[in-house]
């Protein structure tokens, strides 16, 4: 269903996280209106462009005279990066006419065209009006992107496109097994955000174990600074650091069991230990007073003003809080602290995953052209262009050399380097939006962090919610393969 990310609908800053539950309900087809006038009658679809000749320079066999239609979500990343990539396509295929458009109304503009069988060739299916991915996949309305992933990369013919991508990108595009239906283009780093200047003033390093975390929070408290704050009104931000901590303490299989809605997954000792660790923050008074009543902007502002040291969040926070973060703040992100040396995975284990889902419709006139446009966007030059313009990483694993990175982005790159292969990607928030946000987030973690539930009570409640979702036949269920 798209990744949480994200920082899109109203600027790279304002994610549609809060709107996503509503967004994912937008499956009903709006009136056909004027759009159907452009479509051929009766859903017969459109004639496909004949395939061109496959060559070293044209590995996907794009028909060099066929038109290409590309519709982009017009959000916080803007449209310049895509327009620049379109220019490269036009340079490579000078006889092809490209029709490029950007809109915030992805679903109401494009769903009728899917129903008529006349969709564009490439779509950035993002924002508050995102079309439901599960429905598109279930109705066989998307092209399998395996041909793109197995094609030679734009920069190096010896490397396949799939070998140039960041960890988890290929898997995120899969639903139940092999075909890859979605290519997530942006890349979000989740973790614990802080000010290097604030830690320096306390003569402290980022704490790698929970004992060190509690000791640092105690030190900060003496100076009138809270240890933590978070989006109390939207406590599904807490998992951005809590889930990777659970994975670090108990291993990836614990997160997989949670995603798979396995019975008793939440009763694992690693979950219990991490819930108890976070509850200590509440019990010892290390959470900024009033945090349960704050929204994401208010908590970020309090943190940026130095009222609290740590904030669980995603890499969009740099852009979203740009107007309140002081220039000498030293914005940094770290992987979550672990418990101790018995943890299964090393310090540095972090959650990072894709955002901005690009799709090529099954009934696209020029599916090869749509995939080729993505191949261009996954080149080093296009990736660098995106990162330089919008302060976000892409799915391309690299593309940052020679760019002056902002402090948060630089720190995110360093955190990914430290993590190496220890990048986790819990899928709960993609697969089961309501369970993750309303039930686990608000009714479970939010209540525990406000001191209204003990860890044991929170676990019992959350396990019951997960069991209920597992038995609900109206929900499509997914599993790690």
Output the pLDDT for position 47.
87
Q: Distance between CA atoms of 308 and 221, rounded to whole angstroms?
A: 9
Distances (CA, A) of 215 to 195, 202, 246, 313: 18, 12, 21, 22
Nearest to 186 by CA among 331, 6, 63: 6
Mind giving me the DSSP string for 80-142? HHHHHHHHHHHHHSTT--EEEEEES-HHHHHHHHHHHT---SEEE--STT---HHHHHHTT-B
- What are the residues whose beta carbons fall under 8 Å from the beta carbon of 463, sequence distance 6 or more? 264, 265, 266, 267
CA 74 to chain CA mean position, Å: 17
Distances (CA, A) of 48 to 52, 111, 230, 332: 12, 19, 50, 49
* This model's pTM is above 0.85: no
- Give the sign of the dihedral formed by CA 182, CA 186, CA 187, CA 192: negative
Q: Distance between CA atoms of 396 and 156, rounded to whole angstroms?
A: 13
Ordered by where they begin, the domains of the chain are: 20-188+353-412 (3.40.190.10), 190-351+426-471 (3.40.190.10)
Helical axes 210-222 vs 269-283, angle rounded to 10°: 10
Output the pLDDT for position 44.
59
Burial degree of 113 (CB within 10 A; 0-12, 13-18, 19+): buried
Locate 433 and state its tokens.
């939006």
Q: Distance between CA atoms of 65 and 61, rounded to whole angstroms?
A: 12
Query: Mean pLDDT, 10 residues at a time, over the chain (481 residues)?
Result: 36 38 34 32 69 94 96 88 98 97 94 94 89 83 97 97 93 85 94 98 98 98 98 94 98 97 98 98 98 96 98 90 94 98 98 93 97 98 92 89 90 94 90 87 96 98 97 87 74
């Amino acid at each position: 269903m798209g990744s949480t990310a994200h920082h899109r609908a109203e600027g790279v800053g304002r994610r549609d996280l809060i709107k996503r539950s509503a967004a994912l309900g937008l499956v009903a087809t709006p009136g056909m209106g004027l759009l159907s006038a452009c479509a051929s009658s009766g859903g017969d679809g459109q004639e496909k462009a004949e395939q061109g000749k496959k060559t070293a320079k044209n590995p996907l066999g794009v028909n060099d005279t066929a038109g290409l239609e590309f519709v982009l979500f017009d959000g916080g990343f803007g449209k310049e990066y895509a327009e620049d990539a379109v220019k490269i396509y036009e340079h490579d295929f000078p006889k092809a006419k490209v029709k490029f458009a950007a809109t915030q109304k992805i679903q109401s503009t494009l769903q009728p065209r899917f129903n008529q069988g006349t969709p564009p060739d490439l779509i950035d299916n993002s924002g508050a009006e995102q079309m439901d991915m599960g429905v598109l996949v279930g109705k066989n309305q998307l092209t399998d992107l395996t041909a793109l992933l197995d094609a030679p990369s734009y920069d190096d013919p010896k490397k396949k496109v799939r070998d140039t991508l960041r960890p988890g990108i290929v898997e995120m595009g899969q639903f139940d097994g092999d075909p890859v239906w979605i290519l997530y283009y942006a890349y979000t780093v989740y973790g614990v955000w802080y000010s290097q200047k604030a830690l320096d003033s306390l003569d402290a390093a980022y704490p790698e174990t929970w004992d060190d975390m509690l000791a640092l929070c105690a030190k900060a408290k003496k100076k009138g600074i809270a240890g933590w704050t978070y989006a109390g009104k939207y406590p599904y931000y807490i998992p951005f650091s809590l889930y990777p901590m659970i994975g670090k303490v108990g291993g990836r299989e614990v997160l997989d069991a949670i995603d798979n809605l396995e019975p008793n997954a939440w009763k694992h000792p690693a979950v219990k230990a991490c819930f108890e660790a976070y509850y200590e923050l509440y019990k010892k008074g290390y959470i900024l007073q009033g945090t349960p009543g704050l929204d994401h902007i208010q908590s970020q502002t309090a943190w940026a003003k130095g009222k609290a040291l740590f904030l669980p969040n995603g890499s969009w926070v740099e852009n979203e809080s740009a107007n309140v973060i002081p220039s000498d703040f030293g914005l940094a992100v770290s992987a979550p602290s672990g418990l101790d040396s018995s943890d299964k995975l090393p310090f540095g284990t972090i959650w990072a995953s894709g955002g901005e889902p690009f799709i090529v419709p099954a009934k696209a006139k020029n599916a090869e052209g749509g995939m080729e446009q993505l191949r261009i966007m996954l080149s080093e030059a296009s990736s660098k262009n995106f990162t330089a313009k919008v302060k976000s990483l892409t799915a391309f694993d690299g593309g940052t050399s020679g760019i002056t990175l902002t402090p948060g982005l630089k720190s995110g790159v360093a955190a990914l380097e430290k993590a190496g292969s220890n990048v986790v990607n819990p899928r709960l928030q993609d697969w089961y939006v309501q369970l993750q946000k309303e039930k686990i987030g608000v009714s479970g973690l939010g209540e525990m962090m406000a001191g209204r539930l003990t860890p044991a009570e929170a676990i019992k409640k959350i396990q019951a919610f997960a069991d209920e979702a597992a038995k609900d036949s109206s929900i499509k269920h997914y599993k790690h393969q």
